[in-house]
Amino acid sequence: MAVLLVGALALAQGLTPEQMEQGKQIYFQQCAGCHGVLRKGATGKNLEPETLKKEGLTEDAIKAIITNGMGGMPAWGKLGILKPDEIDLMAKFLLSPVPEPPAWTFEDIKKNWKVHVPVSQRPTKPETTRNWQNFFGVILRDMGQVAIVDGDTKELVKILPTGYATHILRSSKDGRYFYVIGRDGRAEIIDLWSKEPTLVAEAKVCLDARSIDTSKYEGYEGKYAVVGCYWPSNFVILDGQTLEPIKMVSTQGYVQSTGEFLRENRVASIVSSHFSPEWILNIKEGGQTWLVDYSKLNLKGKPIVVKMIDTDRFLHDGGWDLSKRYFLVAANAVKKVDVIDAKTGSFVASIPVGNKPHPGRGANWVHPEYGPVWATGHIKDNKIAVIGTDPEGHPQYAWKVVKMIETMSPGNLFIKTHPKSPWLIADFPVAPTPEANATLCAWEKDNLEKDPVCWEVPGARDIHARMVHIEFNKDGSEFWVSAWANKDTPSFIVVYDSYTLQEKTRITGDWVRTPTGHFNVYNTANDIY
């Protein structure tokens, strides 16, 4: 009955069932991440038809917003990502009732789980002669692939097929395995010890996901993996070697402050504690950090203890401080960074920052005056917030913004540094102008008063590329940045000297298409950022 009703109302909006299906696909690929599958809003605004109508947003007004972008939202039309007929369709789709998203059960995960290389047939020591700890796993987003590139020689080692729009890679504690998660909820394990990198296991864990990590506490290294799902809203614990599903836990629940029930209460960033056998899971819409104890999963009944800490709402991405005791996470829609103490399992602070903080994993260094600091950029502000993180040595600065650095544009997504580099580097992939999208800036970490060095990356604008995501190599002597163009255009990854900021080389080839995140084995395994 409900399905018939949605169908009838969609037709009233002028959409056939086929167009409705196409609208669902486009919405899932481009919109759901920020606005939610139920369209109730999170990083992006509420897009329920009633809200849009109340705000006076007509079909034409919606088309203009999708074409030209708004705030942190990309200009889908101008960037050539959506064609005019797709934009027309989406304006109608958004004014139609929200379709019911499908379910995905534990049985579905089991049916879609494959071990390609059993544990007994995997090498017991590295069989590759390359310096595998300096490999980079490069996401080729729209190709559904991950490329393994040798960080010493810059040679392509292997391209592996992964899920649709792979989002991030994380490493096992020893660095041997890359754990991959795609936007379509597909997880994979890549073994870097084989003669050449090999996909050893995969599982379709949910329908929409962004995060994955493994057990890293002493005695549990690599035993379990955990995937944080957007839809259905839950987390799933898997065997760390084979990805066999072990336990599925729903995160649907209540907003603590209002009592509102949330079917869509998504799992955003996840990190593995160094102080106890726990993962730190950040629950987006409800505003809680969950400490999930994985130490009793081998017991009958697989008991699991979850400590729920109330935080600000709309938690997103974040990273450790320099000591790896405190986890700092952006509550992006409410302009805060929250701090969790992994040692005591408690909430520490809610720090006001700029508009839509987006740290990636953030950047850590020791400032001559403020001591250890962590920093985040912003999507909607031209600012980088530098926060003191040393309550014992520098209590006067702890959990305060000690410095707000001005940037040349809003639209920053990632910042990064390395203990060996004097620079803090920032990208601007969601800035409003193509010039800014192609530009990188660097600040002297010890002298934040000094103007940054900013440069437009030659050739990026020619292929409509946005420079995105910064990652250092193992010894910190260079950093890599992806030129994210569209799928039809071969692109490049630029390698810079991390002291002089001079371009050293480019990684090119027909295979370099839609590179986004790229992860160095050593730095990812050891949380160096």
Binders of ligand DHE among residues 138 to 157 (CB under 6 A) are: 141
Distance CA 523, CA 353 (A): 27
Q: Is residue 517 close enough to count as binding ligand DHE by CB under 6 A?
A: yes
In contact, 307 and 326? CB cutoff 8 Å:
no
Nearer to ligand DHE, 80 or 303 (CB): 80
**Backbone φ and ψ of 300, nearest 5°:** -60, 135
Q: Nearest distance from residue 317's CB to ligand DHE, in Å?
A: 4
Map the footprint of ligand DHE across residues 17-36, applying CB under 6 A: 33-34
Q: Smaller CB distance to ligand DHE: residue 186 or 210?
A: 210
Query: Do residues 401 and 353 make contact, with C-beta atoms less than 8 angstroms apart?
Result: yes
**Tokens 């190599």 belong to which residue?**
473
Number of Cβ atoms within 10 Å of the Cβ of 97? 18
Q: State how far the alpha carbon of 180 is from the alpha carbons of 139, 415, 510, 518, in Å.
A: 9, 22, 23, 12
516 contacts ligand DHE (rule: CB under 6 A): yes
Residue 436, SS3 per DSSP: helix
**Which 8-state DSSP code applies to residue 242?**
T
Q: Where are the beta strands (DSSP E) in 408-460?
A: 415-416, 423-426, 439-444, 453-456
Of the residues 15, 270, 331, 457, which one makes contact with ligand DHE according to CB under 6 A:
270
Among 142, 317, 338, 427, binds ligand DHE (CB under 6 A): 317
What's the min distance (Å) between Cβ of 170 and ligand DHE? 7
Q: Tell me if 186 contacts ligand DHE by CB under 6 A.
A: no
Instruction: Give the span between the Cα atoms of 480 and 470, in whole angstroms.
Output: 6
Near ligand DHE by CB under 6 A: residue from 20, 140, 168, 331:
168
Backbone region of residue 325 per phi and psi (left: phi > 0; alpha: psi in -120 to 50; beta: other values): alpha
Q: Does 268 contact ligand DHE by CB under 6 A?
A: yes
Q: Output the residue with the shortest Cβ distance to ligand DHE.
A: 33
CB-wise, 242 or 516, nearer to ligand DHE? 516
* Residues 225-243 as b or e (16 or more Cβ within 10 Å = b): bbbbbbbbbbbbbbbbbbb
Q: Interacting stretch for ligand DHE, rule CB under 6 A, among 108-116, 163-171, 334-342, 489-497?
A: 163-171
First CA to last CA distance, the chain: 52
Cα–Cα distance for residue pair 68/88, rounded to 1 Å: 14
Q: Are 76 and 84 in contact (CB under 8 A)?
A: no
How far apart, in whole angstroms, are the C-alpha atoms of residue 399 and residue 371? 12
331 versus 413: smaller Cβ distance to ligand DHE = 413
Instruction: Tell me how far, at minimum, the Cβ of 427 lies from ligand DHE, in Å.
Output: 9
Site for ligand DHE in 485-514 (CB under 6 A): none
Out of 39, 40, 210, 403, the residue judged to bind ligand DHE by CB under 6 A: 210
Which residue of 13, 43, 241, 407 would you call a contact of ligand DHE, by CB under 6 A? 43
Binding segment for ligand DHE among 9-17, 101-109, 162-170, 344-352 (CB under 6 A)? 162-170
Q: Give the CB-side neighbour count of residue 150, counting CA atoms within 13 A.
A: 12
Contact criterion met (CB below 8 Å) for 212 and 228: yes
Is residue 72 within the footprint of ligand DHE (CB under 6 A)? Answer: no
Cis check for the bond before 232: say yes or no (omega within 30 of 0): yes
Choice between 280 and 398, CB closer to ligand DHE:
280
Q: How far is the CB of 516 from ligand DHE (least distance, A)?
A: 4
Of the residues 204, 216, 378, 469, which one makes contact with ligand DHE according to CB under 6 A: 469
* Longest pairwise C-alpha distance within the chain: 66
Closer of 132 and 472 to ligand DHE (Cβ): 472
C-beta closer to ligand DHE: residue 10 or 483:
483
Known catalytic residues?
A: 31, 34-35, 73, 316, 358
361 interacts with ligand DHE by CB under 6 A? yes
> Which residues contribute to the site for ligand DHE (CB under 6 A)?
33-34, 43, 141, 165, 167-168, 210-211, 268-270, 316-317, 360-361, 413, 468-469, 516-517
